[in-house]
Amino acid sequence: MHPMLRHPLRFGREHRFTFEHASQYLDDDLDEAGRERVEHHARLCPKCHELLAALHRTISALRELGTGPGEPGDSDVADGVIARLRAGR
């Protein structure tokens, strides 16, 4: 058994940290120690692994809404949605 799983208090603390810092992790706003902490926990915790995967999918989908075909991904989501509505897509 993995040592972290033998220490439920530590696992719970890492679980809370990962949950609270998931957005920062995906935005690359955590320092190296924080990134490693999230990655390590997500490898052990299916719930946190799925949380990070779901947030990543959501961010990717929102970026796609902000762009048209062949456009860079930095345009505003609202502008992209309005443009798609006007174009009938």
Q: pTM for the whole thing?
A: 0.67
Give 68-80 pLDDT, tens digit per residue: 555 555 557 677 7
Q: Domain ranges in the chain?
A: 3-87
> For 44-59, b where at least 16 C-beta lie within 10 A, e where not — what string?
ebeebeeebeeeeeee
Give 26-70 pLDDT, tens digit per residue: 999 999 999 999 999 999 999 999 999 999 999 888 877 766 555
CA–CA dist 5, 30 (Å, integer): 24
